[in-house]
Structure 1
Amino acid sequence: MSEFNIKRTRPDLIARVWRTVCKEPVLSILVVALIALQIAHPRPWKSLPGLVDWQTVLTLAGLLILTKAIELSGFLMWAAHRLVHHIHGERTLALLLVALAAGLSTVLTNDVALFAVVPLTLSLHKLAPLPIKRLVIVIALSVNAGSILTPLGNPQNLFLWQTSGVGFPGFVWALLPLCAALMALLGVVTFAMFRAAPLDLSSDVEEHRVDRVLCGVSVLAFAGFVAAADAHHAGPALAVLAVLFLLWRREVVFKIDWLLLLIFVMMFIVLRHAAALPSIHDGIAHLGIGTPVRAYAAGAVLSQAISNVPAAIVLAEFSKDWRALAFGVSVGGFGVAIGSLANLIAVRLSGEKGMWVPFHMVSIPFWIVAALIGWALV
């Protein structure tokens, strides 16, 4: 390639990257926030990758590959085909998906539950016209509510469980009242948001075939990858997955949402950069969160600014009341989308434009009511 072509290619590449960033509101905000942080409180650029929880990013990459493989196998379409013939209305379907997502989130984490339920919902949408935006919103709320119950439900629970020293049954028993109350609230919200209208199955005329080999390998690999990630071996497991599918079904790897991985990396860098600022630490110290109510309120509010996982890590340095912190950061997963990374995943997986406004019209009022419930229980 000539020197002229090289010089011309570089601006073109930069322009394409910039156009991609501008099309993604979340990514644009993160880029601007990082620049502002580096101007106000600069730190070596080489140190920024150290802020990323690479175990989480590698786990996310593996889950994206596996869920894409299951999707391409046709299993989700087949499952959707079977499911809609046993469901007779939108409201029943919405309640079923909410219960399924919440149940999966208690044992497979809220993120993994989304990777299973949102693609299934999109497959159902191909069979029958559904209010897909509302469904994705209540599914996002359900994984945040359901994951409250166990230490395996979400990263902040796992962190607080490990630092608290309490046993698994004790943790579940302590979080059960909040989880039950929020699931009941979500049931009422879901019932009100959806009609009892019958599902229109007139477009369901195709035979839905399943690539059983691809599906079977993907399901087995899914179980193995989750076990490996739980044992903190996501990196080697991801390498095996990537090599397997690149040699066998390369379209699986090529079709995953790579931009979502970039957004996650940027979120870790920006949020942890902000959480480490002396002003934030000093401000929290001056609040005095020694009482359960103050610790709870700090978790519920701070999560709205830096997400609930960083909030749990920051606040644990100032309060040893793990139960109050768990209540606070759990409630903090509602409200603004950044409160929980699961919200970002749900909206991203939906592929729907204009999701942010309707999402916040539901999630913010839900956060207010959830905060009052948590305050009464804490």
Structure 2
Amino acid sequence: MVSIIILALVVLLISIRRLGRYEIAMWQAMTLGAILVLITRQISFQQAILSINFEVIFFLLFMFILGSALELSGSLEYLAFKLFKKAKNVDLLILQMIFFFGILSSIFTNDTIAIVGTGLALILSRNHKIDTKLILLTVAFSVTIGSTLSPIGNPQNLIIAVEGSIPNPFLTFFKFNFIPMILNSFFAYLVLKFFFRKEFREEELIHEEVEIQDSSLAMITLISSIILVVLIIIKVIVAYLTPSNDFPLVYIAMVSAIPVIVLSKRRREILSEIDYKTLIFFVSMFILMESVFLSGAIQSTLDKLKLGSIGPLNILGVSVIISQLVSNVPASMILLPLVRNSVPTLMALASGTTIAGNLTILGAASNIIAIQKSEKLGHSISFLEFLKVGLVLTTFDLFVYGFFYGIVAKLNILR
């Protein structure tokens, strides 16, 4: 119970971002929560160390290295120009970002695109004088919605696909989520346009030609990026043909970062630009969420609900709620043993824990990555500002998935 109270305190601090005269960053609030559960002995030091998913931490570290190199070389700004130079107005730009980042997230995982995409999106915001809140929400929503499309789109999809033994996972995820993904992507655009209608001005966007700032570093980042793409393609093929031989994403990130670390003369500058505060946030989050898990409060409540007997529609709603309390990856691990072993129910769990990221900042790791990165650059969005827009979008997301899964259940299809 103490862990739940501490978690509630952390959520409150992240919501208000202030304690008296002092502003509190998200990483500071989460670190405070981790310290409190350790001090109150809700989790032992050994359990705390074991709770940290170092695979995630090192994945983020290596991707941050590549992201920093892309920014310092000017490659990211050059890429932003090349990718979106045909967008004649803000409407087309936001639509292109939603679908571009979304599709990439289904291939390269939402966390990867959140890291690179946020920097790219903030450049677009600066160049075209677009509200950074609109840009941040575009990145957050697009990588969340797009990642539903494949079993490697996000960590919880992969966990559910493997542990749930979903047959032919790439085809199954596509069949269940392609139509909802398209509908939810278009609605994300409409919701953003409604809340930020002043930003969707009619005048034509002017895209100024951009040049690479550091050609040597740009060449190194190009090599790293090619390695990244090739290894992810290999991972997709391996995961599809022989799942037992699949390898972690952290290996891909590590190998991709090696050229930057070894070959670049600006390695110290690159390492100094890494967002270490985000890494601290995730270390603290793992500790706090493990203490909540060890308390057994959530598991006992879910067990009483007998989720295994109520089907995919209820799983959708419950998974969205639980994901706000413990984030979506832990939520998938908590709920997976409690649901019945049918493809529609397992897919509902994957969809619910993923679109939960559209509701609040804490609903998805990719949200944290995007917002922490933006805060480092002097931009942010509050918990309530995110919730105001996210609540409308998530309601529609649930309606789409509920309607779709209702048809699936009624017609006995997609099994």
Does TM-score exceed 0.5, indicating one fold?
yes
The alpha-carbon deviation at position 242 of structure 1 amounts to 7.3
**1:232 aligned to 2:252?**
no
AA paired with 1:325? L
The alpha-carbon deviation at position 237 of structure 1 amounts to 3.7
1:214 alignment partner, SS class: helix
Cross-structure match for 2:98:
98
Rounded to whole Å, the distance in 1 between the matches of 2:349 and 2:134 is 30
Rounded to whole Å, the distance in 2 between the matches of 1:242 and 1:84 is 26
Match of 1:327 among 334, 351, 355: 351
Match of 1:298 among 294, 300, 318: 318
Equivalent runs, 1:153-164 vs 2, <5 Å: 153-164=153-164
Rounded to whole Å, the distance in 2 between the matches of 1:92 and 1:248 is 37
Kindly indicate whether the alpha-carbon contact (under 8 Å) linking 1:128 and 1:199 is maintained by their aligned counterparts in 2: no
Cross-structure match for 1:181:
183
The alpha-carbon deviation at position 158 of structure 1 amounts to 0.7
Rounded to whole Å, the distance in 2 between the matches of 1:272 and 1:262 is 16
Q: Which moved more, 1:289-298 or 1:242-251?
A: 242-251
The alpha-carbon deviation at position 48 of structure 1 amounts to 0.7
Kindly indicate whether the alpha-carbon contact (under 8 Å) linking 2:323 and 2:353 is maintained by their aligned counterparts in 1: yes
The alpha-carbon deviation at position 277 of structure 1 amounts to 2.0
Alignment deviations for residues 129-173 of structure 1 (CA, whole Å, 9 cap, x no partner) = 122211111221011001001011100111111122221212321
Kindly indicate whether the alpha-carbon contact (under 8 Å) linking 2:191 and 2:392 is maintained by their aligned counterparts in 1: no
Match of 2:269 among 224, 241, 251: 251
The alpha-carbon deviation at position 180 of structure 1 amounts to 2.6
Q: Which moved more, 1:163-172 or 1:277-286?
A: 163-172
Kindly indicate whether the alpha-carbon contact (under 8 Å) linking 1:242 and 1:253 is maintained by their aligned counterparts in 2: no
Identity over the aligned pairs, expressed in percent? 22
**1:355 aligned to 2:384?**
no
Kindly indicate whether the alpha-carbon contact (under 8 Å) linking 2:227 and 2:256 is maintained by their aligned counterparts in 1: no
Rounded to whole Å, the distance in 2 between the matches of 1:219 and 1:374 is 39
Alignment deviations for residues 89-134 of structure 1 (CA, whole Å, 9 cap, x no partner) = 1222111111211111110111111223221122223433122211
Equivalent runs, 1:212-223 vs 2, <5 Å: 212-223=215-226
Count how many residue pairs are aligned between Structure 1 and Structure 2. Answer: 356
Question: Relative to structure 1, is the Cα distance of residues 85 and 297 closer, same or farther in structure 2, using a 3 angstrom cutoff?
Answer: closer
AA paired with 1:360? L
The alpha-carbon deviation at position 245 of structure 1 amounts to 6.0
Alignment deviations for residues 206-227 of structure 1 (CA, whole Å, 9 cap, x no partner) = 8633433322221322343573
Give the TM-score taking structure 1 as reference length.
0.85
Q: Which moved more, 1:43-52 or 1:104-113?
A: 43-52
Give the TM-score taking structure 2 as reference length.
0.78
Kindly indicate whether the alpha-carbon contact (under 8 Å) linking 1:145 and 1:179 is maintained by their aligned counterparts in 2: yes
Alignment deviations for residues 275-301 of structure 1 (CA, whole Å, 9 cap, x no partner) = 232222111100110222332222111
Rounded to whole Å, the distance in 1 between the matches of 2:41 and 2:185 is 41
Cross-structure match for 1:58:
58
Question: Relative to structure 1, is the Cα distance of residues 258 and 334 closer, same or farther in structure 2, using a 3 angstrom cutoff?
Answer: same
Kindly indicate whether the alpha-carbon contact (under 8 Å) linking 2:102 and 2:143 is maintained by their aligned counterparts in 1: yes
Equivalent runs, 1:1-378 vs 2, <5 Å: 23-38=23-38, 42-82=42-82, 85-165=85-165, 166-167=167-168, 168-192=170-194, 193=196, 194-199=199-204, 201=206, 204=208, 208-225=211-228, 227=231, 231-232=247-248, 234=250, 237=255, 240=258, 243-244=261-262, 249-290=267-308, 291-292=310-311, 293-319=313-339, 320=341, 321-351=345-375, 352-356=378-382, 357-378=384-405
